[in-house]
Amino acid sequence: MRYFSIPGLVVLLVIMSLTVSCSTAATVETATQSEQNSTDGHAHSSFQKVTVRPSAAMAFSKLILRLMRSPLSARHYESHMQEILQRPPPQPADLPTNMDNEYLISFHRLNGGWYYHLDPLHRSPSLSVVYNHGGAYAKPLDTVHWSIVSNISESMNAEIFIPIYPLAPEYDHLDAYRFLDIAYAEISKKANSPVWYAGDSAGGGIALTMAVRSTEKDLGNVPEGIILFSPWLDISMSNQKIADIEEDDLMLSVPALKAFGKWLAGSADPKNPLVSPLYSEFPPLGPVYVFQGTADILWPDSRLAARILASSGTPVQYFEYTSAFHVFMAADFLPESRDVFTKLANLIQ
């Protein structure tokens, strides 16, 4: 049985989800819980948790996912890693043709790497977003990432910068952050508006790490805020609560992420903050918005990180989508995905 490509999977999910009744597009219900942390009676930071109930389309999509062969499952990840070891130099997925009509897209070489700049053609952006793609630190930018980029740009009215960072196993975290430091400093000079950092999965880990580094190194401005989609924040995968939900995750597995994390870390401790930002000493940062599904082994660490960030003086809003799979916001036919970008638009206004 061959692997389903991510684009092929998304197409199949779209087709299957369309068979679900129109009622699945109803407004997703939420429950909100707020906390404030202080030591002297005054609120210094806040943590707001919003729980979002699953739609029928989400449940149906997960039935289809269960039939797929995930390359990062415990059963298949080793053969997938062998494929990566034998691959030619990885290249980002081509931009969808419809994006050519919406953006002025430029390509900038820099220190052995490059970054994209997407400038909206039909609107004046009010801010800039540096978006870091996921892919277990080993896979290039994929078609689904372009969907996330487009939705971020539209919901936030933003121009987008996308660093194409060196990938494991050909490179390790030192190579990646050597490039990212230079890229972020260069992007900071070119951005015409307040800058936000964003990323999905491994890219979420990069976004949070770079936010901390921006307070320690001369990378230009500290980000206005940070957006994390299903972030991977601890490559050690040592949170004991992960075992309770691993069977619910249809896409990722602990042994796979540990193996890919070792590629990234090389000889470094997997709890080194440079590869696992969960262990960082967090300064107060701009607002952090976390969007996370509960059918995802990264869920426990996302929730933990949100609370740690809030305790450091950072305002955090954490949105938890019950039964949603890893990086579900890339499947923009789902009500949950649309809800993410609607919330994002409202938060930024």
Distance CA 37, CA 51 (A): 20
Report which DSSP code applies to 24.
G
For residue 96, tell me if it sits in a domain. no
Q: 82: helix, coil or strand?
A: helix
Angle at 58 between CA 56 and CA 62, to 5 degrees: 120
Say whether the peptide bond before residue 88 is cis (omega within 30 degrees of 0). Answer: no
β pairing state of 127-132 and 158-164: parallel
Task: Give the Cβ contact number of residue 255 at 10 Å.
Answer: 15
For residue 328, tell me if it sits in a domain. yes
Distance CA 93, CA 95 (A): 6
| Overall domain count for the chain | 1
Q: Could you tell me the CATH number of the domain that includes residue 40?
A: 3.40.50.1820
Per-residue pLDDT, 201: 99
Per-residue pLDDT, 1: 35
Q: C-alpha distances in angstroms, 67 versus 1, 2, 324?
A: 11, 12, 16
Angle in degrees, 0-180, between the axes of helices 6-17 and 56-67, rounded to the nearest 10: 140
Report which DSSP code applies to 93.
P
Per-residue pLDDT, 17: 47
For residue 253, tell me if it sits in a domain. yes
Task: Give the Cβ contact number of residue 347 at 10 Å.
Answer: 15
Strands ordered across the beta sheet of 30-37: 30-37, 45-52, 316-321, 288-293, 225-229, 195-200, 127-132, 158-164, 113-120, 103-110
For residue 29, tell me if it sits in a domain. yes
Per-residue pLDDT, 37: 55
For residue 332, tell me if it sits in a domain. yes
Low-confidence ranges of the chain (pLDDT < 50): 1-4, 15-27, 38-44
pTM as predicted:
0.90
Angle in degrees, 0-180, between the axes of helices 56-67 and 335-348, rounded to the nearest 10: 120
Q: What is the pLDDT of residues 131-176, one digit of tens each?
A: 999 999 999 999 999 999 999 999 999 999 999 999 999 999 999 9
C-alpha 130 chain-centroid distance:
12
Q: What is the pLDDT of residues 245-291, one digit of tens each?
A: 999 999 999 999 999 999 999 999 999 999 999 999 999 999 999 99
217 backbone φψ class: left, alpha, beta (φ>0; ψ -120 to 50) = beta
Per-residue pLDDT, 22: 36
Q: Which domain holds residue 158?
A: 6-74+102-348
Nearest of 107, 205, 224, 94 to residue 162 by alpha carbon: 107
Q: Pull the structure tokens for residue 217.
A: 């190194």
For residue 45, tell me if it sits in a domain. yes
Q: C-alpha distances in angstroms, 330 versus 11, 31, 34, 50, 254?
A: 12, 23, 27, 20, 22
